[in-house]
Amino acid sequence: MADKDLSESPVRELTRRFLITFLLGVVVYRLGVFVPIPGIDAKALASLVEGKGGEADGLGALLRYANMFNGGAIANASIFGLGITPYISASIIFQLLTFSIPSLKALQKEGESGRRKINQYTRYATLLICIVQAGIAAVAAVHYHTNDVVLVQTSNVPYFIAQSILVITTGSMLILWIAEQITRYGIGNGVSIIIMIGILAYLPGSLGDFGNDLPKFLGIVLAALVIIAAIVVVVQAVRRINLEQQRRVQGNKVYGGAQTTLPLKLNQANVIPVIFASPVMVVLGFVAAQFGSGIGLDQLFSYGEPGHRYVFAALIIAFTYFYISVTFDLFDLSNHFKQAGFFVRGIRPGKNTVDYLAAILKRITFVGAVFLAVIAILPELIGTAAFGLSGNSSMVLLGGTGLMIVVGVSLDVMQKVAAFFLAHQYRGLGGGDDGGLAAAKKSGKRF
């Protein structure tokens, strides 16, 4: 926290941060969602996103999935149509590259300056991804013609494409700027806050599918509450490994001998495997519809078919193990233990420690991966099969990815508020001097 944060009243400072988060995240961001791209028929695009062209349509499924995370921006043909997803894609790419390329890994170990450099590279990659995705979206909108629906009615196609690329890219970079300001001056991680606001803003629109059927509404709400409780338990669950420090005797003094724990989260990958698996399923659906209709592959990958659920779950489990294997370096972790003098009781340092941690990580990763897969297919199982709801409403109300993001961000905000007040308590114990401030900075989490 900044010195200014600790010198003010905690309630006043927290109120100011919440107000900034509300103004930037709710007011500014939500207003931009309703600013349309010039030249696009918003009503025609909304009909496509709402699935009037068919629930099994791969393009419609992809648009509905992205529309949920963007708070309805795609259906409104908004300049914020890409949302914050280009930055998320760039962040995931650089996170994987950091563990694969030695130069980036060394840059990350340089501390704050290295992280700032990687963040700068991530912004450049975000800009490039925005330009590419905006260009693809503009070209697809121009050439989309089906059921007498024309999204773009213009004779100057090159001008429309160039204009759309500029407008959409500017909108996405503006969202990134808003997220960074929330992270710096608001409360919580700005990117997560933006995604959560988009999901919550899209939620009320799905309630119209229930009509006056109160039993279905109460049943779906009860199921959602059960899923939220399960998500909280799994997100907070950790496997703690006891560590001990070697003791050294010098003269009449004994050094070391400290004890601590290594917490391994049950869900290390969070929702990243679901983000990886979803577009893969869409691509498989396109390929199956084009080339596999004669042998029944189109039915295998169609939404609502059992094969779709099984393949989707298998991809989530596979991507979970892949992400953990790339981002979790057990040899590096074992070297840190060795340098600090810590060891696992009964396990020799080095390769034996790595094998021991790998065995535990595989078991808890399997549980976390299966949980992700089950949560991802629950919208279809519960919403469609049990309550007879459409894919849109069940996806929003019970969508595992959306619920996990909302619950995870809410827990993160609660933890940071608690850390904020803890920092003020440390300052009070330190009498307002530099020592108390230093203790607060070490123990409290930064916003």
Are 182 and 22 in contact by the 8 Å Cβ rule? The answer is no
Burial 385-410 (b: 16+ CB within 10 A, else e): eebebebbbbbbbbbbbbbbbbbbbe
pLDDT of residue 395: 52
pLDDT in tens, 70-116: 777 888 888 888 888 888 888 888 887 887 788 888 887 777 788 88
pLDDT of residue 127: 93
d(CA 163, CA 157): 10
pLDDT of residue 124: 92
Q: Mean pLDDT across the stretch 404-424?
A: 81
Q: Mean pLDDT across the stretch 332-341?
A: 76
Total domains, the chain: 1
Residue 312 within any structural domain of the chain: no
d(CA 446, CA 423): 10
Q: What is the residue-wise DSSP string for 417-446?
A: HHHHHHHHHHHHHTTTSHHHHHHHHHHSPP
pLDDT of residue 208: 61
pLDDT higher than 80, residue 151: no
pLDDT of residue 91: 86
The contacts of residue 324 (CB under 8 Å, 6+ apart) are: 268, 269, 361, 365
Residue 48 within any structural domain of the chain: yes
d(CA 414, CA 424): 16
For residue 78, the 8-state DSSP code is: B
Total residues found in the chain within this entry: 447
pLDDT in tens, 355-379: 888 888 888 889 888 888 888 777 6
Q: Mean pLDDT across the stretch 160-187?
A: 90
pLDDT higher than 60, residue 6: no
What does pTM read for this prediction? 0.74
Name the nearest CA neighbour of 216 among 399, 394, 68: 394
Are 286 and 57 in contact by the 8 Å Cβ rule? The answer is no
CB-count exposure of residue 228 (10 Å: 0-12, 13-18, 19+): middle
Residue 136 within any structural domain of the chain: yes
pLDDT of residue 443: 45
Could you tell me the pLDDT band of residue 2, with boundaries at 50, 70 and 90? very low
pLDDT higher than 70, residue 442: no
pLDDT in tens, 187-242: 888 888 888 888 788 777 666 666 666 777 777 778 778 878 888 888 788 888 88
Q: Mean pLDDT across the stretch 10-25?
A: 87
pLDDT of residue 82: 86
pLDDT of residue 228: 82
Place of tokens 């919440």: 18
Residue 176 within any structural domain of the chain: yes
**Beta strands 342-344 and 149-150, pairing class:** unpaired
Q: Give the CATH number of the domain where residue 40 resides.
A: 1.10.3370.10
Residue 60 within any structural domain of the chain: yes
pLDDT of residue 333: 78
Residue with the bigger pLDDT between 296 and 71: it is 71
Q: Mean pLDDT across the stretch 150-155?
A: 76
For residue 295, the 8-state DSSP code is: G
pLDDT in tens, 37-64: 888 877 878 777 776 544 445 556 667 6
Residue 416 within any structural domain of the chain: no
Domain that holds residue 33: 1-202
